[in-house]
Amino acid sequence: MNQKNWHEKHVETLSFGSRLADVVAKGMGSWKFIIIQTILVILWMGLNLIGFMYHWDVYPFILLNLLFSTQAAYAAPIIMMSQNRQNERDRMQAKADYQTNIDAKKEIEALTVVLNRIELEKLDKIITLLEELKK
């Protein structure tokens, strides 16, 4: 009997779009993405500034600015979707942690009752033995 934890249950509820948004947000929030994008921008500007034959986006690089605006227009909602899912996952984790704490508290209370009973039984035995020794 393999019981699933809260994280496995959460992952099972994700749709394809949710998984894709998480992958895109993870990729765009990495140094690898920043470095690759920086290299592409430098190449774009360099080829347009020193291009010998064809300048497809002459200075001030209006097409490049349009591409960045489009990228930002799509990236922001995708990243927000991923953050919302992260918040949902954190709420699920907090709920699972709370339930674990409640269960642990009940178990500790039950153990305390048992230990108190054992201690009382021991004390009763000690008192009985002492009374028998007095006689």
CA distance linking residue 97 with residue 76, whole number of Å? 31
Q: Give the pLDDT band of residue 98 (cuts 50, 70, 90).
A: very high
Query: In the chain, pLDDT over 70 holds for what percent of residues?
Result: 96
Per-residue pLDDT, 1? 55
Q: What is the pLDDT of residues 55-84, one digit of tens each?
A: 788 888 899 999 999 999 999 999 998 888
Is pTM beyond 0.75? Reply is no
Per-residue pLDDT, 72? 93
Q: What is the pLDDT of residues 2-32, one digit of tens each?
A: 677 766 777 777 888 888 888 888 888 899 9
**63 and 57 in contact (C-beta within 8 Å)?**
yes
